[in-house]
Chain A
Amino acid sequence: MRRDVYDVVIVGSGAGGGMAAYELTKAGATVLLLEAGGMWDNTKDSDMLVAPWETPRRGGSTPDKPFGEHDACIGGWNVPGEPFTTAPGSRFQWWRARMVGGRTNHWGRISLRFGPDDFQHKSIDGLGDNWPITYDDVKPYYDEVDDLIGIFGSREGMRNHPDGKFLPAPKPRCWEMPIKKAADKHAVTCIPSRLSIITRPHNGRAACHYCGQCNRGCRTNSNFTSTNVLIAPALRTGKLTMRTDAMVREVSVGKDGLADGVIFIDKVRGEEMKVNAKVVVLAASACETARIMLNSKSAKFPQGLGNSSGMVGKYLTDTTGTDVGGFLPALADQPRHNCDGVGGAHLYMPWWLDNKKLDFPRGYHIEIWGGMGMPGYGVGGGMQNYAGGGGYGASLKSDVRKYWGTGVGFSGRGEMIPNEKSFCEIDPRAVDQWGIPVLRFHWEWSDYEYNQVKHMQETFRTLLQEMGAVVRSNMPTKEQGYGIATGGSIIHELGCVRMGSDPKASVLNEHCQTWDCKNVFVADGGPFVSQADKNPTWTILALSMRTSRYIAEQRKGGKL
């Protein structure tokens, strides 16, 4: 294979890498897609419709499946043989998916476009940085992503939460309606979710059958995964070669100062290999991409590839998060019915307030949970917290029946302002099992995030009280960070390979092309200049499509 020269090598097969493979093969390029994990195909390997009693742990977690043995995603915050470190005083958790399709096997399919303000927020509040592109630059790609992949939602006409090209949204579940009623009472916008689950047959894929198990992987491809919505059609072009268990160490640079391929470790054979390509697209996830770039040191790029600005690894962000749950007595002894629905809530709350009137600069959205979901490990637990006081025997048995499905809750997901104290770098003292230097994380929240999370807690408690729910947790104190989730635990790492308009202050130009090396591009969450109060996947897809089109154009013009 050393003699082969691919037009493009893509590192990572998640949302960004899958989209790049789809677009570039469609444009006629010969593409090699490298994935650090193994093969896994949701149409064959999923536990969809497996009953709880069919597996020994009844859905409980395993070392490589922290979200439960039925979860599709192989990986987690601890990957055997692939450590990371944190600087003294920093707490950060780094999630990795190690499988074809990457994190698209894991996520909740929450597919929110960024709005006009999200790309230019510095112009509004003076914080962080503006993107070098605007909503109008990305809108056509969002529209194409909607059409290609499929998304349901409702047209609401909200300025900073732009409508997409939506399939019909499913009706709310009954437990979601008291939440909507409380939200309406307190003027909290509560609308149908926007999820990449198809409620009508779409582009050759079957419509959702409402088993609520998207996280297990969908056997009918009714939700989005990179594996079968992007990579599979790319393979059918005959232009794509995919190689799994290929752990990329570095981008190699030729005498002309351009990248000439990548060096990876074949994890099965334990051998180091080089593959040649005219263009390199890094889509390994924000931090893994930064790691590859920092480890790509050469005479021309002694600080790492694309790092002449010193900005690789800098301004790492994660979404802020906190949760409050309660017991809603009105839901006790509900008449039984199937309330599975789609995998995820049918309603959500986009950011609805004006930050100018608040003590924190950026917003959050609210996700909700509850319902009589499939019993799994933990069902019927904590009965000592209910009116029966715990106990045993016939009364306990009937208490479990009575209170099953009475829990409801809220999770806030908010925008963090990028700061200088939150970044990753190479730990000079540690390598992973492949001998690749590992990342060391530095992390610090600011009062912008703490005040925002405090507002989440207060809002959730107000809504739960409005509903008549019993909340057992106390409002977390300032000393407890108002209950803010650990950095990295929301699994939305973004930034650290940021795009910008100044080569001295950014890694990438507006096409996600490295300033330093014109044939190296980034197509994951790395280019993000800011988080927004939205989940990043839809923007990763739109940017990857936009970048891929640019690569195809440049190739056609002989510039790459």
Chain B
Amino acid sequence: MTDSSKFSRREVVTGLAATAGAFLMPSAARATEAAKVSTAARGAAGAVGTAYAPKIYTAHEYATVRALVDEVIPKDAKSGSATDAGVPEFMDTMLDLEPNMRVAHRGGLAWLDHECRRRYAKDFVTCTTAERHAVLDDIAYPAKAKPEFAAGVNWFNSFRDFTATGFFTSEMGVTDIGYMGNTPVMNWDGCPPENYTRLGTQKP
């Protein structure tokens, strides 16, 4: 056969050999091994902080996004803010990877500036906190929003979602939300008994 088929075969056999050791180990060691074999550093998240040079956002857009994400997810007693978690960098990366996201997302940022200028003759970034909140209050609660703000409401729903994804998939956000998995478990024993009890059921 050809070289490509030999290559394929070697690939499979190597994979099998790597696995063959695993089943002989006691379960604790097996779990450690499982953790070890996971590809560790991807380095894909990129640097976090103001030094980041946006690939898609203009300087003004980036300043607006940095201000806005921290209005959406601010620092509190439990964890840092959206910028602390690298959300603006994540957003810029996504816009770079997914060109179809750009128009609606950046258009919304422009809409926000228009609205701020109409009311206060200033861009969002130069508005005071009270002024920013006055505009956000009109678009952040869809059930209460006036029809004339529909475009802003629609955009802010997606901006809020985008910010939440960026924050709660960061290491800081995953710790904050309390996700305790993504780790090998030696013996699965269901949930802690109090969780079942809270739900009016018994631990099986």
Contacts and interface: CB of A to CB of B under 8 A. Distances in A.
A389 B72 contact: no
Given A181-B201, A201-B23, A210 B144 contact: no
A335 B7 CA distance: 50
Q: DSSP class of B's interface residues: helix, strand, loop or mixed? A: helix
Contact of A41 (B15, B183, B198): B15
The 9 A-B residue pairs whose C-beta atoms are closest, nearest first, are A380-B164, A49-B38, A171-B190, A174-B191, A336-B178, A340-B181, A177-B201, A209-B184, A174-B195
Given A39-B11, A57-B94, A381 B195 contact: no
B165 A243 contact: no
Given A49-B35, A235-B13, A330-B198, A211 B182 contact: yes
19 contacts: A42-B15, A53-B170, A53-B171, A57-B97, A171-B188, A171-B189, A174-B195, A177-B202, A201-B23, A206-B22, A206-B23, A207-B30, A338-B180, A375-B168, A376-B169, A390-B140, A390-B156, A393-B74, A396-B73
Interface in B168-204: 168-171, 173-174, 176-186, 188-192, 194-196, 198-204
Interface stretch (B39-47, B59-67, B106-114, B117-125): B39-47
A397 B73 contact: yes
A335 B142 contact: no
Contacts of B31: 209
Interface residues of B, number: 88
Contacts of A59: 169
A265 to B, nearest CB: 13
A4 B141 CA distance: 71
A297 to B, nearest CB: 28
A340 B201 contact: no
A54 interface: yes
Contact of B173 (A60, A177, A375): A375
A396 B66 CA distance: 17
B155 interface: no
Contacts of B11: 39, 41, 44
A220 interface: yes
Chain A, interface residues (CB within 8 Å), range: 35 or more
Contact of A244 (B4, B179, B194): B4
A205 interface: yes
B71 A206 contact: no
B51 interface: no
Contacts of A208: 188
Contacts of B178: 336, 372, 401
B160 interface: yes
A139 interface: no
A254 interface: no
A220 B201 contact: no
A48 interface: yes
A174 B199 contact: yes
Interface centre among A172, A220, A268 (most CB of B within 10 A): A220
Contact of A49 (B19, B71, B174, B182): B182
B108 to A, nearest CB: 14
B9 A242 contact: yes
B168 A379 contact: yes
A383 interface: yes
Nearest to A177: B201
Interface string A388-413: 01111110111011001000000000
